[in-house]
């Protein structure tokens, strides 16, 4: 049974399930325009999720074949997964920020074994033990792994500009951090319930009411630029707080008000995390050793393999921020590189 919700002012949401994931579902928004309904995100590519999306659209008096366009907050599969199917059904355009569109292009052309080599080299450099890296080395042999091929977008979302939507004012706010091309979308129209503030913000995974999005590294086997995703994320949080939207419509969980208060909580959370890490770095630690000592939702030895890789990326993102702030530095000549706090 499809669950839909009418947010007023020609905006509705559908809950599209994400199979085997504690998040449960993605909130796909349907925004009416003078040229037909436009979707903000599409949901996970799975037959049951597609059926739920189609049923939800039917409950809204429309259907996959009527969709005019698809606006993607970021390239992750719980957001962009069904975009290709929607385009096949309707001929809709798909819009995405250039930085995430580049990741989609790379995903479509990079062979899995190249990705495993990259991950193996990266984890070795982070100080991961051989036992952890070995499965990746084994997997990098040419294999019969199914290719993963997300839909290539055909329009670019340009930061700061209004999207080309007939009869609506929807402005792209670039909010890198969770991904390099994440965007929030600001509906610059009066709130239907006249709540105080400026319009409504579709926040994707950038600003969620009860959880913090994963901030890792912008993994790119072809780019050696030392990026600072956590720094990007914190700056992006301030950017959306300044908009003071009347209501936030996130891609998971539920809508909420007082975005500036939520931003302050998230800034405080990351600041205390950075301070805790600086304390741990009283002794030199590799990213792996730091991740082992950080606080997670369960003890390190109970964290499964894939989640450990995500944890390492998160530790590295925090290390990069500390280095950039001059609060930690690499130990000269260490191999793999260890980091130590600057007192
Ligand atoms: Zn995401
Ligand atoms: Zn998500």
In a domain, 179, yes or no: yes
> Quick one: pLDDT at residue 103?
93
Same-domain pairing of 205 and 302? no
How far apart are the CA of 295 and the centre of ligand 2, in A?
23
**In whole angstroms, what is the distance from residue 266 CA to residue 254 CA?**
17
How far apart are the CA of 277 and the centre of ligand 1, in A?
24
Ligand number with the minimum distance to the CA of 78:
2
129 SS3 class: coil
Asked if the peptide bond before residue 336 counts as cis, ω within 30 degrees of 0, the response is yes
How far apart are the CA of 205 and the centre of ligand 2, in A?
5
How far apart are the CA of 215 and the centre of ligand 1, in A?
10
Mean predicted confidence (pLDDT) in 268-277:
96
> Quick one: pLDDT at residue 22?
86
How far apart are the CA of 131 and the centre of ligand 2, in A?
31
Confidence of residue 132 (pLDDT cuts 50, 70, 90): very high
Task: Tell me how far CA of residue 178 lies from CA of 206, 237, 255, in angstroms.
Answer: 7, 11, 19
How far apart are the CA of 181 and the centre of ligand 2, in A?
14
Radius of gyration of the chain (CA): 21
CA angle 9, 173, 313 (to 5 degrees): 120
In a domain, 173, yes or no: yes
Same-domain pairing of 75 and 115? no
CB 98 within 8 A of CB 75: no
Q: Please count the structural domains in the chain.
A: 3
Same-domain pairing of 295 and 323? yes
CA-nearest of 203, 207, 206, 199 to 168 is: 199
* Sheet order of strands, 69-71 included: 4-8, 11-17, 25-33, 36-40, 69-71, 93-97, 155-157
How far apart are the CA of 284 and the centre of ligand 2, in A?
34
Same-domain pairing of 156 and 124? no
Same-domain pairing of 88 and 186? yes
Confidence of residue 111 (pLDDT cuts 50, 70, 90): confident
In a domain, 298, yes or no: yes
How far apart are the CA of 6 and the centre of ligand 1, in A?
24
How far apart are the CA of 216 and the centre of ligand 1, in A?
11
How far apart are the CA of 136 and the centre of ligand 2, in A?
26
> Quick one: pLDDT at residue 174?
98
Ligand number with the minimum distance to the CA of 250:
2
Same-domain pairing of 253 and 193? yes
CA-nearest of 339, 323, 251 to 40 is: 251
State which of 207, 240, 264 marks the end of a domain.
Answer: 264
pTM of whole model > 0.85? Answer: yes
Same-domain pairing of 289 and 322? yes
How far apart are the CA of 289 and the centre of ligand 2, in A?
28
Which DSSP string do the residues of 311-336 spell out, in sequence order?
A: HHHHHHHHHHHHHHTTSEEEPTT-SS
In a domain, 269, yes or no: no
Instruction: Tell me the pLDDT tens digit for each residue of 34-68.
Output: 999 999 999 999 999 999 999 999 999 999 999 99
Same-domain pairing of 39 and 158? yes
In a domain, 270, yes or no: no
Indicate the range of 224-228, 239-243, 245-249, 311-315 predicted with least confidence: 224-228
CA-nearest of 67, 76, 16 to 46 is: 16
Same-domain pairing of 287 and 224? no
How far apart are the CA of 168 and the centre of ligand 1, in A?
26
Ligand number with the minimum distance to the CA of 16:
2
Same-domain pairing of 55 and 180? yes
How far apart are the CA of 334 and the centre of ligand 1, in A?
34
Ligand number with the minimum distance to the CA of 28:
2
Same-domain pairing of 77 and 96? yes
Ligand number with the minimum distance to the CA of 76:
1
In a domain, 271, yes or no: no
How far apart are the CA of 66 and the centre of ligand 2, in A?
25
Mean predicted confidence (pLDDT) in 2-13:
93
What's the domain range around 134? 110-144
Instruction: Tell me the pLDDT tens digit for each residue of 156-182.
Output: 999 999 999 999 999 999 999 999 999
Q: Which residues are registered as beta bridge partners of 30?
A: 12, 39
How far apart are the CA of 279 and the centre of ligand 2, in A?
31
């Amino acid at each position: 049974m499809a669950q839909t919700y009418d947010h007023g002012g020609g905006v509705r949401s559908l809950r599209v399930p994400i199979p085997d994931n504690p998040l449960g579902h993605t909130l796909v928004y349907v925004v009416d325009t003078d040229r037909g309904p436009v979707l903000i995100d599409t949901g996970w590519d799975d037959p049951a999720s597609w059926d739920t999306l189609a049923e939800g659209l039917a409950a809204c008096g429309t259907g996959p074949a009527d969709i005019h366009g698809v606006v993607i907050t970021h390239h992750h599969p719980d957001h962009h997964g069904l975009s290709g199917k929607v385009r096949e059904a309707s001929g809709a355009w798909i819009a995405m920020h250039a930085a995430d569109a580049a990741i989609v292009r790379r995903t479509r052309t990079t062979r899995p074994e190249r990705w495993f080599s990259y991950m193996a080299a990266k984890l070795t450099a982070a100080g991961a033990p051989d036992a952890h890296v070995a499965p990746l080395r084994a997997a990098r042999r040419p294999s019969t792994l199914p290719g993963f091929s997300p839909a290539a977008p055909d329009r670019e979302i340009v930061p700061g500009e209004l999207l080309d939507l007939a009869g609506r004012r929807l402005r792209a706010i670039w909010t890198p951090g969770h991904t390099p091309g994440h965007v929030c979308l600001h509906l610059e129209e009066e709130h239907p319930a006249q709540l105080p503030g400026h319009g409504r913000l579709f926040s994707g995974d950038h600003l969620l009411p009860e959880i913090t999005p994963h901030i890792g590294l912008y993994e790119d086997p072809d780019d050696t630029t030392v990026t600072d995703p956590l720094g990007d994320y914190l700056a992006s949080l301030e950017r959306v707080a300044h908009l003071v939207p009347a209501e936030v419509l996130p891609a998971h969980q539920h809508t909420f008000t007082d975005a500036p208060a939520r931003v302050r909580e998230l800034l405080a959370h990351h600041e205390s995390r950075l301070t805790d890490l600086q304390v741990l770095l009283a002794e030199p630690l590799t990213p792996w050793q730091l991740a082992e000592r950080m606080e997670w939702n369960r003890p390190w030895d109970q964290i499964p393999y894939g989640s450990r890789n995500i944890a390492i990326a998160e530790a590295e993102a925090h290390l990069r921020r500390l280095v950039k702030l001059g609060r930690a530095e690499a130990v000269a000549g260490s191999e793999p590189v260890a980091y130590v706090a600057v007192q």
